[in-house]
């Protein structure tokens, strides 16, 4: 029925890593939880894994926070059940980002991911994140330094946007950087189908992702993995993206905030079953578990703030979502959280299927 794989198109089939490779999960479940600053902490990752997410990426970590130690480093420490995982790094200086990569390798990260995608403004005129797509030589120096610092048994990956902006120069920069990564034996990339200038506004252009996978067909046949990101707002969108763009898998970002069930539903599609929505009791259990994990990681005060934004997103599954959303907005501590659960989640009932936010049919988007 709904789920399809690239093999159904005429596109050459990418070579997949063996099952025991840190990226070998893609053979069985071609999707993962994206890095999401302010959200994708240990608590969100562990909840996602319990719902069938095979792989997670941390939020972007600044190299100098790792190097300085203290809270930044503590934040990067992993729990034993949080594998396979990529630690994502962002920075401006090749030597610092290479030091950061070594720290992540010592902390037992399975994959090290370099962020060349974040659209947050330049700092002190220095490029980092997506701004490096406008400075390809600086970007390549970073990729090279990380390569030199990390042994080849730890796969390297990079997160890109499809370009800095829509000019031909920036398209050229994109290819220069991705060519360099492939030559440096990077194992994979995830490409967000928006430009840096676009930030999160407007649709991600899947047709450009398709052009990119065609351009790099021989690299993917040799084992380089290209994942797609952007507008993966439902389990079906995962497989639509794979079918329409020939990426090897999809990164699930905003679509999994307050919605770990998207991973379970994607597995249901793979098994040719109709996706089921969580009932109120299932929602309550996940909300409680997520809060308890968050408290154990951040303490009650910070967890209260973190969980308010998750609660607002979780409320979309509830039949009285406006009332529940308003109640979550007022949450400050565990007692308030429990009160929302006692008021709105005490009696079991069916949940509501959530509506994908993307309204434009992706097939019709032109470049």
* Minimum distance, C-beta of residue 348 to ligand FMN, in the bound complex (Å): 31
Handedness of CA 253, 254, 255, 257 (dihedral sign): positive
Q: Which is nearer to ligand FMN, 285 or 357 (CB)?
A: 357
* Minimum distance, C-beta of residue 294 to ligand FMN, in the bound complex (Å): 17
* Minimum distance, C-beta of residue 319 to ligand FMN, in the bound complex (Å): 25
Q: Which is nearer to ligand FMN, 204 or 331 (CB)?
A: 204
* Minimum distance, C-beta of residue 59 to ligand FMN, in the bound complex (Å): 4
Per-residue DSSP letter, 167: S
Point out which residues bind ligand FMN (CB under 6 A).
Answer: 34-38, 59-60, 88, 115, 117, 159, 192, 200, 204, 229-232, 253-255
Find all residues with CB under 8 Å of 289, minimum gap 6, and list them.
Answer: 47
CA 362/CA 205 separation, integer angstroms: 8
* Minimum distance, C-beta of residue 221 to ligand FMN, in the bound complex (Å): 25
Q: Which is nearer to ligand FMN, 212 or 280 (CB)?
A: 212
Q: In which residue are the tokens 């796969």 written?
A: 155
CA 202/CA 208 separation, integer angstroms: 14
Q: Which is nearer to ligand FMN, 56 or 303 (CB)?
A: 56
Name the β-bridge partners of 87.
112
* Minimum distance, C-beta of residue 317 to ligand FMN, in the bound complex (Å): 18
| 71 in Cβ contact with 282 (< 8 Å) | no
* Minimum distance, C-beta of residue 337 to ligand FMN, in the bound complex (Å): 22
CA 253/CA 104 separation, integer angstroms: 22
* Minimum distance, C-beta of residue 254 to ligand FMN, in the bound complex (Å): 3
Compute φ and ψ for 118, nearest 5 degrees: -65, 130
Q: In which residue are the tokens 């019709």 written?
A: 364
Virtual torsion, Cα 297, 301, 307, 309, nearest 10 deg: -130
Q: Which is nearer to ligand FMN, 63 or 231 (CB)?
A: 231
Identify which of 77, 69, 17, 94 has the alpha carbon closest to the alpha carbon of residue 41: 77
Identify which of 303, 313, 365 has the alpha carbon closest to the alpha carbon of residue 338: 303
Q: Which is nearer to ligand FMN, 306 or 341 (CB)?
A: 306
Q: Which is nearer to ligand FMN, 137 or 200 (CB)?
A: 200
Query: What single string gives the DSSP state of each residue in 338-351?
Result: HHHHHHHSSS----
Q: Which is nearer to ligand FMN, 52 or 284 (CB)?
A: 52
Cis peptide before 38 (omega within 30 of 0): no
For ligand FMN, which residue has the nearest CB?
35
Q: How far is CA 187 from the centre of its chain?
A: 17
Per-residue DSSP letter, 81: T
Find all residues with CB under 8 Å of 302, minimum gap 6, and list them.
Answer: none
Which tokens belong to 177?
A: 């950087």
Q: Which is nearer to ligand FMN, 109 or 345 (CB)?
A: 109
* Minimum distance, C-beta of residue 26 to ligand FMN, in the bound complex (Å): 17
């Amino acid at each position: 029925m709904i789920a399809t794989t690239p093999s159904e198109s005429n596109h050459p089939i990418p070579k997949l890593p063996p099952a025991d490779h840190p990226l070998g999960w893609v053979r069985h479940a071609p999707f993962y939880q994206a890095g999401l600053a302010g959200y994708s902490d240990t608590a969100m990752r562990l909840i996602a894994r319990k719902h069938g997410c095979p792989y997670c990426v941390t939020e972007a970590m600044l190299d100098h926070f790792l190097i300085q130690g203290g809270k930044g480093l503590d934040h990067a420490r992993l729990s034993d059940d949080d594998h396979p995982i990529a630690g994502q790094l962002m920075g401006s200086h090749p030597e610092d980002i290479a030091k950061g990569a070594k720290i992540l390798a010592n902390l037992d990260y399975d994959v090290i991911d370099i962020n060349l995608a974040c659209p947050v403004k330049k700092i002190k005129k220095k490029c980092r994140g997506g701004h490096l797509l406008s400075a390809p030589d600086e970007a390549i120096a970073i990729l090279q330094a990380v390569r030199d610092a990390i042994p080849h048994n730890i796969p390297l990956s990079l997160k890109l946007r499809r370009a800095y902006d829509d000019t031909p120069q920036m398209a050229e920069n994109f290819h220069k950087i991705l060519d360099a990564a492939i030559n440096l034996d990077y194992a994979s990339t995830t490409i967000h189908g928006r430009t840096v200038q676009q930030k999160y506004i407007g649709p991600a252009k899947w047709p450009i992702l398709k052009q990119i996978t065609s351009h790099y067909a021989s690299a993917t046949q040799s084992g380089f993995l290209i994942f797609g990101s952007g507008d993966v707002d439902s389990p079906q969108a995962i497989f639509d993206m794979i079918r329409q763009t020939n990426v090897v898998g999809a990164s699930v970002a905003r679509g999994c905030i307050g919605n770990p069930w998207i991973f379970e539903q994607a597995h249901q599609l793979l098994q040719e079953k109709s996706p089921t929505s969580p009932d109120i009791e299932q929602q309550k259990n996940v909300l409680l578990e997520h809060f308890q994990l968050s408290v154990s990681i951040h303490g009650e005060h910070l967890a209260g703030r973190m969980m308010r934004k998750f609660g607002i997103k979780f409320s979309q599954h509830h039949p009285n979502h406006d009332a529940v959303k308003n109640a979550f907005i007022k949450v400050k501590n565990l007692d308030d959280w429990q009160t929302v659960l006692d008021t709105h989640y005490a009696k079991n009932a069916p949940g509501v299927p959530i509506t994908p936010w993307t309204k434009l049919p992706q097939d019709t988007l032109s470049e």
